[in-house]
Structures are given as structure tokens and as C-alpha cells.
């Protein structure tokens, strides 16, 4: 299993433990998103998050739109590479840095894949998940 560190402190602590940090940029993908709208009660002013296009409110104050629901502490992260990892070895990435769509849905629900198997090629990980072929499609 390959762990991920998402802060300088965590990366440097892993270096002290003997790991090599393979640093990558955290780049949000426009393909990863949720779709939401906001309905507001005209009397009380209270708002309600609309997450299902079929539940379109009567007092929509924000039309349905895509938004990126994830927040990471830094614009980079590192896979922590043990010194005995060899090219061609299959590993489990427990916290993906890359944004890959895990599920596609007709309601605008396209969450990111949290973890996945991968092969270390000596320079990078080849993630063994293709969202075009492997992601489930939810209808509802």
C-alpha cells in the first residue's frame, strides 16, 4: 500500500521515516463535480440545498450548477515511495492525488475516485482504472 501525504509536515515526516516523496500537483478536474441548486423560503429566508434535478424548488435563488466539492490543504501532495518499490510492481494507492471520475450520473453526481490499484513504472504510477470504461453510471 502506498500512502499519500498532503502537507509539508507530513511529507517531511515520511522522509524521516525513509520514504521518498513523489510530489505531484493537485489539479481539480472539471469532470469531477456535483450538481446543486438552492431554494429559499420567501417568508423565513431559510435555504435548502437541491441535489436532485427532479426536486426543482418553487423559489430557486441559485440555478443548478456544477461545483467541485473537495478541499485539500495544499496545491500539491506526495505519494510516499518505499525504497524497495520496483518498476512493474502493482500497489494500492490509498489516497489518489489525481482526480479521476469514480461514478457518472444523470443528476450531475460525478465524485472522484478515492483509491485504486496502480503499477509503478519507475517514474510514475499507472492507475488501473479508466473512468470511461470502469466508472459505474447511476440513473436516478
Is 62 in the same domain as 80?
no
Report percent pLDDT > 90 for the chain. Answer: 74
Nearest alpha-carbon partner for 2 in 120, 101, 102: 120
Is 53 in the same domain as 96?
no
Is 72 in the same domain as 16?
yes
Alpha-carbon distance values, 9 to 19, 26, 66, 76, 99 (Å) = 14, 17, 33, 13, 23
CA dist 91 and 15 (Å) reads 19
Is 63 in the same domain as 39?
yes
Is 100 in the same domain as 118?
yes
Is 107 in the same domain as 77?
yes
Report percent pLDDT > 70 for the chain. Answer: 98
67, 85, 120 - which closes a domain: 67
Is 79 in the same domain as 119?
yes
CA dist 6 and 83 (Å) reads 20
Question: Is it the case that residue 55 has pLDDT exceeding 90?
Answer: no
Question: Is it the case that residue 140 has pLDDT exceeding 70?
Answer: no
Number of compact structural domains in the chain: 2
Is 48 in the same domain as 97?
no
Q: Which residue range is the domain that position 55 belongs to?
A: 34-67
Nearest alpha-carbon partner for 6 in 69, 70, 78, 94: 78
CA dist 12 and 55 (Å) reads 48
What pLDDT does 18 receive?
97
Amino acid at each position: 500500500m502506498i500512502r499519500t501525504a498532503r502537507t509539508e509536515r507530513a511529507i517531511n515526516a515520511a522522509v524521516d521515516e525513509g520514504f521518498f516523496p513523489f510530489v505531484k500537483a493537485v489539479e481539480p478536474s472539471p469532470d469531477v463535480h456535483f450538481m446543486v441548486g438552492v431554494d429559499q423560503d420567501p417568508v423565513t429566508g431559510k435555504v435548502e440545498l437541491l441535489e436532485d434535478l427532479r426536486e426543482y424548488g418553487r423559489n430557486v435563488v441559485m440555478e443548478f450548477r456544477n461545483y467541485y466539492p473537495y478541499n485539500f490543504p495544499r496545491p500539491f501532495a506526495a505519494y510516499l515511495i518505499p525504497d524497495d518499490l520496483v518498476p512493474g510492481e502493482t500497489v494500492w494507492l490509498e489516497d489518489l492525488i489525481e482526480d479521476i471520475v469514480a461514478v457518472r450520473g444523470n443528476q450531475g453526481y460525478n465524485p472522484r475516485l478515492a483509491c485504486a490499484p496502480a503499477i509503478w513504472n519507475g517514474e510514475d504510477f499507472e492507475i488501473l482504472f479508466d473512468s470511461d470504461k470502469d466508472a459505474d453510471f447511476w440513473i436516478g
